[in-house]
Each structure stands twice: as structure tokens, then as C-alpha cells.
Amino acid sequence: MTYPPSLQVPADDERFWAAVRAEFDASEDFINLENGFFGMPSRPVQEAFEAYSRMVNREAACFMRNRFPQRLAQVVETLAGFSGVAPEELVIVRNPTEGMNILIQGYPFRAGDEVVIGNQDYDSVDEALAMMQQRGRFSIVRVALPFHPRDDDEIVDAYECAITPKTRVMVLTHMLHRTGQILPVAKIARMARSRGIDVFVDAAHSFAHLDYRLPELESDFVVAHLHKWLGAPLGVGLLHVRKERIAEIAPLFGDTRYPAGDIRKLAHFGTRPPAAILAIEDAIAFHNRIGGRSKEARLRYLKDYWVSRVKDFERIVMMTPQAPERACAIAAFKVQGMEPARVADYLFEEHRIFTVATGAAGESFVRVTPHLYNTTGQLDRLAKAIGSLLQGVGGAKR
């Protein structure tokens, strides 16, 4: 069943989504609702990856020497077209940790600079900043982010209030990994730019999840995963630096080969396994076959499906805002008076539903992340399991 690519597939067209689901080989031993860790590649991507692996190992050095450089350039070009930037502004990295370290360690900070970051951003990004702070390169200024913002202005204002004359860079996460909250990154970046501040965007979770192209983030520096929502095999991410800014970033991995303004100077990684990189094109083809708008709408629909069934239970507290523009597939909840690890263990041990206990900014909760291959029936089972857990401890439906 196919729709013309320009049409949005209705999020509740179960016949269409069943056909999509049939292209994934998810384990039937349990219900996986922890798809925020990495995005299971579809079968076509997995098969392409395996074929590339066999080909690389058959052709060995001959492939690596004679063909990989051109194939890599071709993949970068395809990815650039998909992302809305020029190939000369893109590096394929292993993951956002690598991309963020290239930015954080390569940016020309001056003594006394301050870097602003929220209190719900990703741990390895925090650690890269903390390491550089320990080395005396800059000081970190932390912004407390609300779990349920009133509007965009509340968030933009929170970042604006953290600015001092010493602020040089803001690190922004487009979609917070633990609660799934979407930040108005373009608005914050615009405000920052008007104050002469650069923005590094961590688009790990939003890329190929929300339907947008990188320039819409209005930031000169962006990192993202390709093995989360794009569904490429594990081990690939992207780093985007706007052309005019490349010369300012010093390579993290030693390079004397490329001129200062050539982004390949940031990509001197040594030998890398090519199969996942080659399969990025297949992941883009699969994504485009569904369509970014349809995919985003279906993911939000699946999240709303389970949330609408549990949010009014007594003792349930949602940690993710409800407005459609503030979240998509990822959402988190807590059960008042119960350790999140106990909730996650109960769901897995009693109902074979896999979620994750996590936390942020002094709160702890359970994160639930459906993917395109999850069914509404599985989400009904989640809602029922949460209901039974609450009944077991004396909770009742409101």
C-alpha cells in the first residue's frame, strides 16, 4: 500500500502502518518501548548493511583504497541533500558524543568565556563541558528548564536570563532525551545570535523524527544521530558546521592535510568500518518512502495513544508536556510514591514490556518510546499494565 510522497498518510491508517511494521524484524519475546536508545533499522536497511559488510570483507583493501573514498563522498552528498545543507558542511561522525567533542574542544574559546547549557541535556555533552571547565577553558552556566513550560517565551527567557557579558556559546538540545520535550531551538538561537552568542545544537533525537531540515534550527553548529530516528545501523551520526565557520574550529583528531576552511580536516578518524556509513543511503530511502511528515505524525499519535489512556490515573504524573509542538514519540511518567525502577521492572517482569527508569533535574521517572513498528494493541497492553500496577498498590482510576 503506497501513498504519493507529497501526501501525508493519516496517523491512524492502521492498514498502511501495518505494512510499515511488516518491514521490521522486532523481537516477539517482548514489547520494546525503549526505542529512544537507538532506532531499530528496518529490514531493507539491515539487509543492505549485511550485504555491504560482506562486500567490504570480500574486496578488503581494494575496496578501502579504490572505492570507499568516492562512496563516502556520495553518501555525504545524499545526506547533505536530505539535511538541507551543502556536502562541504557535513561530516559523518560515529555519534553526537564525537560530534559535540569536536565542537566543544575545537571552538576558539577565550579566557573567561562562559558556556550556557540546560539542566536536562545529555550526560556526555555535560562531561565534555565539565572536562573543559576543569582545564580552565570556560565556565559553565546552568539553566533550569521547566518540565511543563507555559509557552516558548518562558524557555527563551530562561536562556536569556543566563546570559552575561562573558557568554560565548549556548549548547541547546532540540529534543530532551529523558522526557522528549522539544525546545524552541530556532527562537533561542535567534535570541542568542542577536546577542553575539554562538549556539551548538544537539539534535540527537529530533533528526529524522521531527520533519525539518537543519537550516531551520538557525544554528551554525549541529550534531545528530543517524542511528536513532533515521534508522541507520548503529555507529553513525552527523556534524554540521556552516561553511563560513569551519575555519574557526580546530581539529580534534590531528590533521595537516586539509586547509582550515575544509570540513574534512575535522574527519581525520583513521580506518572506520564502512558498512553502516554506506547504509545511511538506504535508511534515507526508507525514511523517504514513508515521508517525514507522516512519520512524525504517526510517532506523535502513538505517544498520545498511550498517554491519553494513563494520564488521568490516580498517582500518575506526566513529565512531558502535552501540546503537540512540545513532544513527539518520547514521553515520561512517574507513579507518585513508587521508585521508577520498580515500575520499569514490574512492566518487564510481569508484562514483558521494556521501558527505562531514568531521571533529570532532581526528578526520576519512566521513559516510554514507541517506534513505527509498535502497535496500538501493544500500547493498550502498556496502559492496562500500568492500571494493574496502580490497583495492586491501592491506586484507583480517577
Ligand X SMILES: Cc1ncc(COP(=O)(O)O)c(C=O)c1O
In this structure, what is the dihedral angle of CA atoms 350, 36, 360, 204, given to the nearest 10 degrees? 180
Query: Which part of the chain contacts ligand X (CB under 6 A), choosing from 118-126, 154-162, 179-187, 241-249?
Result: 118-126
- Of 204 and 390, nearer to ligand X (C-beta) is 204
Q: Taking the complex as a whole, how short is the minimal distance between the CB of residue 227 and ligand X, in angstroms?
A: 8
Q: Taking the complex as a whole, how short is the minimal distance between the CB of residue 205 and ligand X, in angstroms?
A: 5
Tell whether residue 173 is a contact of ligand X (CB under 6 A): yes
CA 387, 392, 397, 398 dihedral sign is negative
What lies within 8 Å, CB to CB, of 384 at 6+ separation is none
- Of 208 and 386, nearer to ligand X (C-beta) is 208
The DSSP bridge partners found for residue 318 are 333
- Rounded Cα distance between 248 and 221, Å, is 12
Place of cell 496502559: 383
From candidates 107, 122, 207, 346, binder to ligand X by CB under 6 A: 122
Tell whether residue 367 is a contact of ligand X (CB under 6 A): no
- Rounded Cα distance between 204 and 338, Å, is 30
- Rounded Cα distance between 353 and 342, Å, is 13
Q: Taking the complex as a whole, how short is the minimal distance between the CB of residue 357 and ligand X, in angstroms?
A: 15
- Rounded Cα distance between 286 and 288, Å, is 5
- Of 93 and 297, nearer to ligand X (C-beta) is 93
Per-residue x/- marks for ligand X, 70-109, CB under 6 A?
-------------------------xxx------------
Q: Taking the complex as a whole, how short is the minimal distance between the CB of residue 55 and ligand X, in angstroms?
A: 26
Is-contact 370 379, C-beta < 8 A? yes
From candidates 41, 89, 138, 177, binder to ligand X by CB under 6 A: 177
Tell whether residue 124 is a contact of ligand X (CB under 6 A): yes
- Of 20 and 175, nearer to ligand X (C-beta) is 175
Cβ-based neighbour number of residue 65 at 10 Å: 10
Q: Taking the complex as a whole, how short is the minimal distance between the CB of residue 385 and ligand X, in angstroms?
A: 25
- Of 202 and 220, nearer to ligand X (C-beta) is 202
- Of 177 and 381, nearer to ligand X (C-beta) is 177
From candidates 204, 249, 327, 386, binder to ligand X by CB under 6 A: 204
| DSSP strand pairing (114-118 vs 167-173) | parallel
Q: Is residue 107 exposed (0-12), middle (13-18) or buried (19+ Cβ within 10 Å)?
A: buried
- Rounded Cα distance between 76 and 94, Å, is 14
Percent of the chain that is helix, strand, coil (3-state, to 5): 45, 15, 40
Tell whether residue 201 is a contact of ligand X (CB under 6 A): no
Tell whether residue 129 is a contact of ligand X (CB under 6 A): no
Q: Taking the complex as a whole, how short is the minimal distance between the CB of residue 100 and ligand X, in angstroms?
A: 7
- Of 357 and 390, nearer to ligand X (C-beta) is 357
Q: Taking the complex as a whole, how short is the minimal distance between the CB of residue 173 and ligand X, in angstroms?
A: 5
Cβ-based neighbour number of residue 270 at 10 Å: 5
Give the phi and the psi of residue 326 in degrees, each rounded to 5.
Answer: -105, 0
From candidates 205, 240, 298, 300, binder to ligand X by CB under 6 A: 205
- Of 127 and 255, nearer to ligand X (C-beta) is 127
Q: Taking the complex as a whole, how short is the minimal distance between the CB of residue 327 and ligand X, in angstroms?
A: 14
Q: Taking the complex as a whole, how short is the minimal distance between the CB of residue 95 and ligand X, in angstroms?
A: 3
C-alpha distances (whole Å) from 165 to each of 194, 196, 221, 377, 386 are: 13, 10, 21, 54, 49
Residues forming the site for ligand X (CB under 6 A): 95-97, 122, 124-125, 173, 177, 202, 204-205
